[in-house]
Structure 1
Amino acid sequence: MAGVANFRTCGCPQKPLLAAERGSGLSSVGSVGRRSTVRILRPFEDEAFCVGRLAPGHLKKASLKVARPRSCIHMALVDERHALGRDVAKPSGILAYDLVQGALVRWSSVMDKSIPDPPTAVLLHGILGSRKNWGSFARRLAQEFPMWQFLLVDLRCHGDSALVEKSAPHTVASAALDILKLVARLRVTPRVLVGHSFGGKVALSMVEQAAKPLARPVKVWVLDATPGKVRPGGDGEDHPAELIAFLSTMPKQVSSKREVVRALIQEGFSKDVAQWVVTNLRQTGPSSSFSWGFDLKGIAEMYKSYEETNLWKIVEDVPRGVHVNFLKAERSLHRWALEDLQRIHAAEQLAADEGAGVQMHVLEDAGHWVHADNPDGLFRILSSSFQGFKS
């Protein structure tokens, strides 16, 4: 079975924290200045899971309550503080994440640096999403490819990462830089980057910004997004800009999720989109009210950047050792103009001549929400990136 961790190797006996762990600068969401342990329901019937939250780096100890689990989930924030007691005026690169590890992975970021990290894939969500969007899909991948680990990230202003104030600008490039800092801190070199929609452009921006810590070869998957102009969906499809604008008119606290769903449907958004959006609502204290679990102002800036960011250059001049895969959903063909398809097909030949790669794929029977509409088909297409890997 797959385990999930971020700082310890799953399936191994727990031991006292090392000095390197105490001074790592890791801190937990919503638990700054204190230690806490939270239990969650088991995702699988035959597996014991635990959630450990690591204390901030200035504390001398961090505790982890364990009941002999075979797999663990550790969720933490990672920043750029490298040593205990070092003053960092403006810590950066802070993100919430889960690391889903296959059963054969025996590695953690605090092991001897001479020990190579296992093959790692990074899975990135879209606008108004979170790392939870990829949870079940990542566990399925980890079960099928047990020597791999899968890094699921909450992008800035989204999910648990919204609990930490991030410096502007909130752009595709800054979101990509966050992840590059995160993987460097964790000492992993991603072999595969998978980004849905906005996350697809973030993955391309990661390639554009840095040769390291990206490995060679590295495979990039851009799911239902193009490198340039953003073409919103047609009737019955999502319109992120309009959705963000409408959400900004709603109160910051609401009495029920049903109330929000009703308001969104009345405004013309589909029931599916409405029910997905309210997964971002968090219960506020002991009361029955809810508040949004994202930074909507920052997300609005990110979406504007998504519309304005043009990354055709990296596609038409792919670095050696990089293979960029575009996947378009069959039922959202309106997102893809003929000029987009022609440029991608032209880039395929150019990349092959330069020792790189560009390829187009089509996911049948799927709309924009590819990992929800046709998870089996998506799994089959992506699986080629994880087969036959040799460390």
Structure 2
Amino acid sequence: IAYELVQGALVRWSTVGSSARPPPTCVFVHGILGSRRNMLSFAQRLTREFSSWQVLLVDLRCHGESARHGAASHRPNGVESAAADVLDLLRHLKLFPEVLIGHSFGGKVVMSMADQFGRIGPRLPRPVQVWVLDALPGAVREHHASDLRLRQDHPADLIPSLQAFPVPTGSRTTLQTYLVQSGFSQRVASWVTSNLKPTQEDPRKLSWTIDMKGIAEMYESYESLSYWPFLSAPTQGIKVDFVRAENSSYVWPMDDVERLKAYGHRVHHLPQAGHWLHADNPDGLLEILAPTFTYARASTNK
């Protein structure tokens, strides 16, 4: 799968070819219909604040450059396969991450990664902190509140609408207009157009950079899979925290929140943020995440 490493200043200035242990690594996983570009700004912010760290950004299967490469087509499209792809990449890069961060769909991907870590053996090389951003471990529930804006841009509605949109198209504006008229926000309509590119046959026409059928299969997997069994007894050394956006597009039932706490997992509340919490309130999110990077950095330097 396609990736890039965002490195802090101290990592970039370290001696090339050094035999020392690799710098502490965080893996940041995007949501459905996204790409590593969505996480780049926040990753750069993290590495400016914690300059001895590096952040691995990936394009999940069926997304971004990974879709263009036809990555890992031998596995069925789903959460577990997406997680296995990232684990394969980490093995290729000879990296073991101290921190996993996943947004939305990516939240279940990082939980699956942590679950698959536990199947490798009874002990991990070092502790792993998992951060799940605005996603729950079980069945997906969308808001049914009177404020329809909370339901407006839900992937369960967006993906079928995109599948129904005829491509190739003559312009990004055509897609934006179609989505807004279908009830989606201008913000999402503009964002989705980043998944269009000129066709080889006619550069004046645009088609998907993504595998839309594969993405639909991945989202179906996301809705159906539950990671409650993993959270009830994670492998020793794995810690899982959740961040709930104040204006989340998803219902966070109090029973689920209390269950997470009963299992020993923390649930943090991020104010002034919708589902794209890393873009809506990056300062607040960084404040929540910061202790993890400070503690892990200190442990690494011992």
Same fold flag (TM > 0.5): yes
1:250-269 alpha-carbon deviations (Å, 9 max, x no partner): 12211111110000011111
Secondary structure of 1:298's counterpart equals helix
Matched with 2:34 is: 129
- 1:336/1:202 CA distance change after superposition, 3 Å: same
Matched with 2:237 is: 321
Alignment partner for residue 246 of structure 2, among 330, 337, 358? 330
2:57 pairs with 1:152: yes
Q: Distance in 1 between matches of 2:263 and 2:125?
A: 22
Q: Distance in 2 between matches of 1:384 and 1:160?
A: 33
CA contact (8 A) 1:233 1:239 kept: no
Matched with 2:7 is: 101
2:162 pairs with 1:257: no
More contact order relative to length (CA 8 Å, sep ≥ 6): 2
CA contact (8 A) 2:154 2:249 kept: no
1:384 CA drift (Å): 1.4
In the TM superposition, 1:152-301 aligns within 5 A as 152-165=57-70, 166-211=73-118, 215-234=125-144, 235-237=148-150, 238-285=153-200, 287-301=203-217
Q: Distance in 2 between matches of 1:333 and 1:227?
A: 15
CA contact (8 A) 2:100 2:110 kept: yes
1:147 CA drift (Å): 0.6
* Counterpart residue type for residue 262 of structure 2: A
CA contact (8 A) 1:107 1:118 kept: no
CA contact (8 A) 1:328 1:361 kept: yes
Q: Structure 2: which 5+ residue stretches go unaligned?
A: none
**Superposed CA RMSD:** 1.9
Higher helix share: 2
1:305-343 alpha-carbon deviations (Å, 9 max, x no partner): 001101011111122111100010111275211221121
CA contact (8 A) 1:107 1:117 kept: no
Secondary structure of 1:248's counterpart equals helix
2:270 pairs with 1:363: yes
Q: TM-score, normalised on structure 1?
A: 0.70
1:45-93 alpha-carbon deviations (Å, 9 max, x no partner): xxxxxxxxxxxxxxxxxxxxxxxxxxxxxxxxxxxxxxxxxxxxxxxxx
Q: TM-score, normalised on structure 2?
A: 0.90
- 1:302/1:146 CA distance change after superposition, 3 Å: same
Q: Distance in 2 between matches of 1:150 and 1:197?
A: 18
Q: Distance in 2 between matches of 1:161 and 1:151?
A: 15
Matched with 2:45 is: 140
Larger Rg: 1
* Counterpart residue type for residue 364 of structure 1: P
CA contact (8 A) 1:183 1:189 kept: yes
- 1:239/1:308 CA distance change after superposition, 3 Å: same
Q: Distance in 1 between matches of 2:193 and 2:149?
A: 18
Q: Distance in 2 between matches of 1:322 and 1:306?
A: 21
